[in-house]
Structure formats: C-alpha cells, structure tokens
C-alpha cells in the first residue's frame, strides 16, 4: 500500500512538472514568429530570378516554357565540369 502511494505521488509530481514546464514555455514573451517565411535577398543574377519565379508559380511551372528553359540551363551549369586550375593537366 505504501509503495503504491509513493508511485502515485511520484507520477503526480512528474506530471505537475511537465505541465508547469509547458505553461512556462507558453508564457515566455519571446517575439518569435514561427509561421513567417524568411526574407529573401534581392537577386541580381537573371537565372536566380527566373528560378525564384518558377518556384513561386508552383505546379503551374511544370507547363511553363520559360521554367523548362531555366531548369535546362541550371542542369547544364550544374553538370558541366568546371575547368581545372591544375597546371599539370
């Protein structure tokens, strides 16, 4: 009987501490806006601007010819090996 009482008391204390911790976290006055999107820097490169435009179009970008050309150019730049700066080659 005594062991069961101590077990219940321990569980009650742990539950109380969990609720208290959650309430304290909620009551914090940090001005953190979880749902806002980060500010994107201004883009000077035309390819980056076109990629952002395609991203903003969403699914409609799949049927957009400009987006297809932009993705082709991006793949070409990404997959083309850079010229080697090694003087031995």
Q: What is the pLDDT of residues 43-66, one digit of tens each?
A: 568 888 899 999 999 999 999 999
Segment among 20-24, 30-34, 65-69, 71-75 with least mean pLDDT = 30-34
Tokens 């699914």 — which residue? Answer: 59
Distance CA 51, CA 61 (A): 10
Distance CA 3, CA 9 (A): 10
**C-alpha angle with apex 65: 59 to 70, nearest 5 degrees?**
90
Looking at residue 18, what is its pLDDT? 95
Looking at residue 24, what is its pLDDT? 87
Residue 28 has pLDDT above 90, yes or no: no
Looking at residue 31, what is its pLDDT? 60
Q: Could you tell me the pLDDT band of residue 2, with boundaries at 50, 70 and 90?
A: confident
């Amino acid at each position: 009987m005594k062991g069961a009482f101590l077990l219940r008391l321990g569980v009650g204390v742990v539950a109380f501490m969990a609720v208290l911790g959650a309430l304290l976290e909620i009551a914090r006055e940090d001005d953190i806006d979880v749902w806002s999107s980060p500010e994107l820097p201004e883009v000077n490169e035309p390819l980056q601007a076109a990629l952002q435009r395609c991203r903003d179009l969403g699914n409609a970008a799949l049927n957009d010819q400009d987006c297809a050309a932009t993705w082709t150019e991006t793949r070409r730049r990404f997959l083309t090996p850079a010229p080697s700066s090694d003087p031995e080659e």
